[in-house]
């Protein structure tokens, strides 16, 4: 594969010739004349979600943190350390993928996503600066390579990304997009569930509000990569051989195993409302639905039920499932300069 040309005199506005990669694009962004109709509403949805981390008050969280159980404190730090890593590498990797995408409307979404990943990375920084002391903060920022379990799984993701960067061929492109898809669709979720378990106990409300805003964004990123994966398959059926599909499924299984192990490792069966079995079922349930969305068979057919519906009540403002492009956004609103946190609480909770 070749990086797209920036000045491309051979580019044409003929939509029938356009392709997600390797197409004759002019590189000019024209939302009213573009091949992928889903890109404009998705871009606008992302843009409407703009939020400012440091406007969320964290004074109460700072007071509450020392009252958390040692297990909760430990999980809080570990989960943040992983999220910091994920969102930080996304910022750069999205640029690597976008360099090969020849649909300006899709590039716009990828670049918007990269900006939101920057907001997320900043939000974790703001959380750690506001809630914990300097020594703890320094430790959290080293865990990505110092914690053995975390280092191993971080290596797995970055190896997939770097395989494409170092050897940009079609197989590696699909696998890199798939790694993005799994990151957005599986890797965040045991961490999010942990924060929501705290939220259910009315603990760390500022942190939980922030995580809900982040998950709302991640769902748009998931929608972007779902559409990209399906478009790549439609346009390049010859790329998706049975061997490639099997290798994608193998990636899902590995990602699922890593996420379950990680979720169980950070929570140690000691967080109210979460346990090892629930985490196992929940992540496998997600893996099934992620596979279904991009035309792969379910890897865990024995798991048919969502085991923790309450997680979705925290995430309900994210609204991406069935009516992603229709439903009115639950915007984050400011009242007199202060975020109205009540709007971020799950339905039925005051």
CB of 184 to Zn ion, least distance (A): 5
CB of 98 to Zn ion, least distance (A): 14
Question: Of the two residues 25 and 220, which places its CB atom closer to Zn ion in the complex?
Answer: 220
Query: How far apart are the C-alpha atoms of 29 and 52, rounded to whole Å?
Result: 27
Q: Which stretch binds Zn ion (CB under 5 A): 12-20, 112-120, 240-248, 332-340?
A: 112-120
Q: Which stretch binds Zn ion (CB under 5 A): 13-21, 113-121, 153-161, 248-256?
A: 113-121
CB of 88 to Zn ion, least distance (A): 9
Contacts 24+ apart (CB under 8 A), 90-98: 90/114, 90/117, 90/180, 90/183, 91/117, 91/118, 91/121, 93/161, 93/176, 93/180, 94/180, 96/161, 96/164, 96/165, 96/176, 97/164, 97/173, 97/176, 97/177, 97/180
CB of 87 to Zn ion, least distance (A): 4
Question: Of the two residues 259 and 280, which places its CB atom closer to Zn ion in the complex?
Answer: 259
The residue within the footprint of Zn ion, chosen from 45, 77, 120, 258 (CB under 5 A), is 120
CB of 119 to Zn ion, least distance (A): 8
- The total of other beta-carbon atoms located within 10 Å of residue 65's CB is 20
The answer to whether the CB of 299 falls within 8 A of the CB of 256 is yes
Residues of span 151-190 touching Zn ion by CB under 5 A: 184
Question: Of the two residues 68 and 91, which places its CB atom closer to Zn ion in the complex?
Answer: 91
Question: Of the two residues 191 and 263, which places its CB atom closer to Zn ion in the complex?
Answer: 191
CB of 202 to Zn ion, least distance (A): 25
Q: Residues 100, 124, 181, 187: which is the catalytic one? A: 124
Taking CA atoms, 85 is separated from 50, 115, 152, in Å, by 21, 15, 13
Please confirm, yes or no, whether 196 is among the known catalytic residues. no
The answer to whether the CB of 4 falls within 8 A of the CB of 100 is yes
The answer to whether the CB of 132 falls within 8 A of the CB of 77 is yes
Nearest to 116 by CA among 209, 38, 195, 220: 220
Question: Of the two residues 77 and 221, which places its CB atom closer to Zn ion in the complex?
Answer: 221
Residues of span 200-219 touching Zn ion by CB under 5 A: 218
Interaction mask 48-87, Zn ion, x per CB under 5 A: ---------------------------------------x
Residues of span 221-260 touching Zn ion by CB under 5 A: 221
Contact flag: residue 105 with Zn ion (CB under 5 A)? no
The H or E element spanning position 339 is strand 338-339
Taking CA atoms, 87 is separated from 75, 101, 187, 218, 254, in Å, by 18, 21, 11, 10, 20
Contact flag: residue 117 with Zn ion (CB under 5 A)? yes
Helix (H, G, I), strand (E, B) or coil at 334: strand
Count the residues of the shown chain that bind Zn ion, applying the rule CB under 5 A: 6
Question: Of the two residues 109 and 271, which places its CB atom closer to Zn ion in the complex?
Answer: 109
Query: How far apart are the C-alpha atoms of 268 and 71, rounded to whole Å?
Result: 8
Q: Which stretch binds Zn ion (CB under 5 A): 18-26, 101-109, 147-155, 220-228?
A: 220-228
Buried (b) or exposed (e) across 231-242, using 16+ Cβ within 10 A?
bbbeebeeebee
In the block, which residue shows the tokens 């099934």? 288
Q: Note the residues at the interface with Zn ion (CB under 5 A).
A: 87, 117, 120, 184, 218, 221
Q: Would you name the residues annotated as active-site residues?
A: 124
């Amino acid at each position: 594969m070749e990086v797209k040309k920036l000045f491309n005199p051979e580019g044409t506005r003929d939509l029938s010739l356009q392709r997600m990669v390797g197409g004759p694009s002019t590189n000019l962004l024209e939302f009213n004349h573009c091949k992928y109709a889903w890109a404009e509403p998705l871009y606008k949805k992302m843009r409407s979600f703009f939020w400012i981390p440091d406007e969320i008050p964290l004074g109460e969280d700072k007071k509450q943190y020392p009252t958390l159980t040692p297990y909760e404190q430990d999980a809080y730090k570990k989960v943040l350390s992983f999220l910091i890593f994920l969102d930080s590498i996304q910022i750069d990797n999205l640029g690597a993928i976008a360099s090969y995408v020849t649909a300006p409307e899709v590039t716009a979404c990828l670049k918007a996503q990269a900006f939101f990943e920057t907001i997320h990375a900043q939000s974790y920084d703001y959380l750690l600066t506001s809630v914990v002391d300097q020594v703890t903060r320094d430790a959290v920022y080293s865990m990505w390579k110092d914690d053995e379990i975390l280092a191993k799984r971080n290596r797995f993701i970055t190896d997939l990304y770097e395989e494409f960067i170092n050897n940009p061929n079609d197989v590696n492109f699909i696998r890199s997009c798939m790694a993005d898809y799994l990151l957005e669709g599986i890797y965040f979720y045991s961490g999010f569930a942990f924060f929501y378990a705290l939220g259910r106990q009315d603990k760390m409300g500022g942190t939980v509000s922030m995580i809900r805003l982040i998950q709302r964004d991640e769902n748009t990123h998931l929608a972007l990569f779902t559409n990209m994966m399906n478009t790549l398959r439609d346009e390049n059926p010859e790329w998706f051989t049975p061997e490639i599909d099997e290798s994608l499924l193998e990636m899902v299984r590995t990602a699922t195993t890593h996420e379950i192990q990680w979720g169980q490792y950070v929570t140690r069966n000691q967080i109210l409302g979460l346990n090892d079995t629930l985490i196992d079922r929940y992540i496998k349930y997600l893996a099934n639905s992620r596979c279904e969305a991009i035309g792969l068979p379910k890897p865990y057919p024995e798991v048919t039920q969502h085991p923790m519906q309450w997680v979705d009540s925290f995430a309900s403002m994210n609204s991406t499932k069935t009516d992603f492009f229709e439903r009115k956004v639950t915007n984050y609103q400011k009242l007199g300069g202060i975020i109205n946190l009540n709007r971020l609480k799950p339905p039925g909770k005051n």
